[in-house]
Structure 1
């Protein structure tokens, strides 16, 4: 029981886990994402990424999922995604990278449903525009607009 808890908090414990050659996280551009998707065509690269993400760990399914996403996508790229690709955004749910994230979380939380992991990914992507001062900037703009209403 303690081993399982320690594994969840500190990751899978695979100290040698690393990302495949050519992968630099967090991803900053669509071009980098395309390169990673190409690299993940290889099963061995996909397994390396799952092991790497499993090491990120987290006290809960939610915290692990969000920690992985934070380490995977820079916020400036994350704002270009949603789960399905609606409203001119890119569909994260159809990427191999998404599959890697879900498999890594499942590795540390084997009893979990992929539905919950997907929910936390969707939530993280949905809130991307609020991070790094985005919400404050939007609220400031809304306040300025209301001052000009007569």
Structure 2
């Protein structure tokens, strides 16, 4: 994974490897390479933050967001940079004023004005310069404050739910989840050809949360399929099982999981595991008969043919 951060010393927005971040995400390792190309390669390859056994220097950062893919992180970097340039155009001037004050303070410390019996105040010229600097600072702060308020207001308006928006429970009801039969899967696959419907599923499933890939996928799969229906599927669809990997619904689950920072490979691994252990879950829920779990193996039916023709997939061994 990759993270977009701002280097506090230079105020530059950069992409770094997530494994370079400190646990509190307030610092990041930075490669000592002078070549820009080598630095970019280090980020892309998420190198271990050390060279020749020597750990890299840590820089103070402001963390913005994490991304699964490097290209997406680059897009996020450009977006944040453009926002900063749009809403804080006078930041450079403000930094310059602060540097000017710092220099003035350092000069005064080197050549202090000692108090005399007649006066304990600084020279008039120095006082005027300082007052002028403070006025400039105040003006710059007011401008930035106004722009920040406008930005927050615009975001609030865009994110505020409209009067026609529906609650999470209403969305859940409209999606008819969990799916209980193969007919439900066929119907849902047809509905997911619509980009609007697909986005609705992704948004709903991505809000289920979880701690780590296993928990995230378990929460999504439990909401998508009943265990009885899950028995009909395996990842590749060998034997009498249907191939879960070829469903549009599987892509929807991947998209929803990625919003919870679950990488594609981890997502597929956890889906396979979830389907593999379906019979164990059913066994724990149902009473045992004669010391064993009773289960029926469903043979191929006419419904399989309908499922195959609607979705365009083969249920033969992969």
TM-score by length of structure 2 reads 0.37
Alignment of 1:58-137 (within 5 A): 58-109=210-261, 112-133=262-283, 137=288
CA displacement at 1:141 relative to structure 2 = 3.2
Where does structure 2 lack aligned partners over 5 or more consecutive residues? 1-24, 26-63, 66-160, 294-318
1:56–1:67: 8 Å Cα contact kept in structure 2? yes
CA displacement at 1:137 relative to structure 2 = 3.9
1:20–1:45: 8 Å Cα contact kept in structure 2? no
Q: 1:46 to 1:20 in 2, by over 3 A?
A: farther
1:27–1:77: 8 Å Cα contact kept in structure 2? yes
For 2:287 and 2:233, how far apart are their aligned partners in 1? 21
User: Which one scores higher on RCO, CA 8 angstroms, separation ≥ 6?
Assistant: 1
1:51–1:104: 8 Å Cα contact kept in structure 2? yes
Identify the structure with the greater strand proportion.
2
- Cα deviations by residue, 1:13-69 (Å, 9 ceiling, x for unpaired): x99553584x31111000011111111010111111000000101111110111100
The list of structure 1 runs, each at least 4 consecutive aligned residues, that deviate by more than 6 angstroms after superposition, is: none
Q: Which residue of 2 aligns with 1:36?
A: 188
Bigger-Rg structure (1/2): 2
Where does structure 1 lack aligned partners over 5 or more consecutive residues? 5-13, 143-150
For 2:289 and 2:255, how far apart are their aligned partners in 1? 35
- The number of aligned residues is 130
Identify the structure with the greater helix proportion.
1
